[in-house]
Amino acid sequence: LVQVCGFRGLDDAVLYAAVLLFDRYCAASRHSLDTSRLHLVVLAILSVALKVTGGTEEATKPRKLGELLSTCGQQRYPLEVIFKAEMEVLQVLGFEVTSPSALEFLSALVLPFAPPPGDAGPKAVA
């Protein structure tokens, strides 16, 4: 993954998302990952990571997902097979493909204790 992302000039966020997804997939999978399927599963995870991070947006990354996956897969797998493997990965992950950001985590911890809008805070009693 590191070589593919570096060679293709993909954003680091794609690499981090792919590694996180791969780790979560391996942890959640009920079966050990056969080495014959490793390349296909990594391609499927790369596809998900590209979609989640916006790495396939035409405006920021002028690549087409199909071409990128075919090239990375060395034309061994038709896109339909990669997308089927992607669906299997998503099912194993329960379709939970993102993790909370630091801002979301902080908001969940701080907002319940924040004063309501318009409240000036504690008032001094004379």
Find the CATH number of the domain harbouring 21: 1.10.472.10
Full residue range of the structural domain in which residue 90 is found: 2-113
- 42, 88 in Cβ contact below 8 A? no
Least confident of 3-7, 15-19, 56-60: 56-60
Domain assignment present for residue 122? The answer is no
In-domain check, residue 48: yes
Could you tell me the pTM of the whole model?
Answer: 0.73
119 — pLDDT class (breaks 50, 70, 90): low
The mean of the pLDDT values for the chain is: 82
Q: Tell me the helix, strand and coil percentages in the chain, rounded to 5.
A: 60, 0, 40
Q: Is residue 125 part of a domain?
A: no
pLDDT band at 56 (very low <50, low <70, confident <90, very high): low
Share of the chain above pLDDT 70, in %: 85
- The answer to the question of residue 121 being in a domain is no
* Residue 32 covered by a domain: yes
- 120 domain-assigned: no
How many structural domains does the chain have? 1
